[in-house]
Amino acid sequence: MQIDARNLSVDDHEELVKTMKRAYPTMSDYIWPKKSIEKLTKIFPQGQICITVDGKLAAVALSIIVNYDDFGDDHTYKDITGNYSFSTHTNSGNVLYGIEVFVDPEYRELRLGRRLYDLRKELCEQLNLRAIVLGGRIPHYHKYSDELSARDYIRKVRDKEIYDPVLSFQLSNNFLPIKVLKKYLLEDESSKENAVLLQWNNIYYSKQPNTMQDSVIRLGLVQWQMRQFKDIHAFYEQVEFFVNVMGDYKADFVLFPELFNTPLLAPFNHLSERDSMIELAKLTDDIRTKISELAISYNVNIISGSMPFYDDNDLYNISYMMHRDGRIDEYRKIHITPNEKKYYGMKGGSEIKVFDTDCGKVGLVICYDVEFPELPRILADQGMKILFVPYLTDTQNAYMRVRHCAAARAIENECYVAIAGCVGNLPGVNNMDIQFGQAAVFTPSDFAFPSNAVKGEATPNTEMTLIVDVDLNLLKDLHHNGSVQILKDRRTDLYEINYK
């Protein structure tokens, strides 16, 4: 007999379904869909573990990493998994949360469950997570529910007066019962919808000073003056000036505006608008590399506004998230304005995702994107806490569209929204002659936030910086205790937004 442990893959799904049906014969509707396995193996592959016996799938354990302080001890399975979307998973979390374990009945005498739990413990230690937490079923409770409360049942199982196949096993693996969770898993009739909150503590855990555990995040916004540059080195000097200033003020993020490098179009002004933008796009790789170096040197995450990007004969409006650890994420503007289509023939991107940073999950959209509420809502469902919006607007009415929509996105998605744009005039560059801008940070509208829901704003049409602190703990409190709780009160029984 050959027993092997490995990471689960999407190719295992068909066999997983068969094994799960044998493990849960009375819960035939409780089967993991393939799209969920695809998502879990993509976002956290090492957390999805399986054991095979002679090549046959025999046992599975699924898990995610969460910032447990966002949920506390009163939660449901639906809460902890983000309505089964796993948007609650974050690499910057502090707890490994077990969302599933099952063993094929044919192999239960091999103690494969204990082996899965040992592998989870090793993973928890390797990732330096504080604990493993899970909501454990009590499948024999229905036999005693008429005479025992869930609390008394747990006590008797702990004292070995009653045997429960799940709880007894977890207690034997050094998991400590914390409390009873009511309405934890609504489909679990045998447990009477109860679960036991269980925890295993990692004694090797070491809490290191880390921004990802901090609640106050400092945002630095650049209100960028359009000006002629004699060469690209002069442009770099101006960029580094602002990054240096923000670094001195210990900013966690620096936000530059949309298409802030378009003064470099001047040498190509004899070309058509599209051809000149393609020439500018040839500089994007070098600019990206330089700004990434600045992010590392000055220890600050930089959102590089946006720049043109030429890919396979298509022109995109692209923004980069330059992490201070050297990682680079990208976002391509999805909604292209009529002006961008007419003059540059730009094409919209197709990927919507949040970025995991050392300050938590953030979102990034570009200008016109923020006027489409579906896009930030999808990001909010993925766990976004701060939305960055670099923009470029020529007139005040265009700016007001961006401003009012950004403010609305902060309220309806219970997040902070930071916007930054260009100001001034740029003679000698076609289609880039005037700009109107005012950087600002918007908040939800409740007692913990400014009465006008504006955390800070710059002087309009003046080159300057705006430095603002935002507290992520206020968002958590708003979500659970706000005067209104928009994300919770959505009627998802009537409507929903899906990312295709």
Q: Which residues are known catalytic residues? A: 258, 333, 367
Q: How many CB atoms lie within 10 A of CB 414?
A: 23
Q: Do the beta carbons of residue 353 and residue 382 sit within 8 Å?
A: yes
Distance CA 326, CA 293 (A): 8
Taken as a whole, the chain contains a residue count of 500
Instruction: Tell me whether residue 121 is exposed, middle or buried, using C-beta atoms within 10 angstroms of its C-beta: 0 to 12, 13 to 18, 19 or more.
Output: middle
Q: At what angle do helices 13-23 and 34-43 cross, to 10 degrees?
A: 110
Q: Enter the tokens of residue 14.
A: 């068909």
Q: Enter the tokens of residue 204.
A: 């090797």
Q: Enter the tokens of residue 286.
A: 């070098």
* Three-state secondary structure of the chain: CCEEEEECCHHHHHHHHHHHHHHCCCCCCCCCCHHHHHHHHHHCHHHCEEEEECCEEEEEEEEEEECHHHCCCCCCHHHHCCCCCCCCCCCCCCEEEEEEEEECHHHHHHCHHHHHHHHHHHHHHHCCCCEEEEEECCCCHHHCCCCCCHHHHHHHHHCCCCCCCCHHHHHHCCCEEEEEECCCCCCCCCCCCCEEEEEEECCCCCCCCCHHHCCEEEEEEEEEECCCCCCHHHHHHHHHHHHHHHHHCCCCEEECCCCCCHHHHHHHCCCCHHHHHHHHHCCHHHHHHHHHHHHHHCCCEEECCCEEEEECCEEEEEEEEECCCCCEEEEECCCCCHHHHHHHCECCCCCCCCEEEECEEEEECCHHHHHCCHHHHHHHHCCCCEEEEEECCCCHHHHHHHHHHHHHHHHHCCCEEEEEEEEEECCCCCCCCEECCCCEEECCCCCCCCCCCEEEECCCCCCEEEEEEEEHHHHHHHHHHCCCCCCCCCCCCCCCCCCC
Distance CA 419, CA 409 (A): 12
Q: Do the beta carbons of residue 216 and residue 470 sit within 8 Å?
A: yes
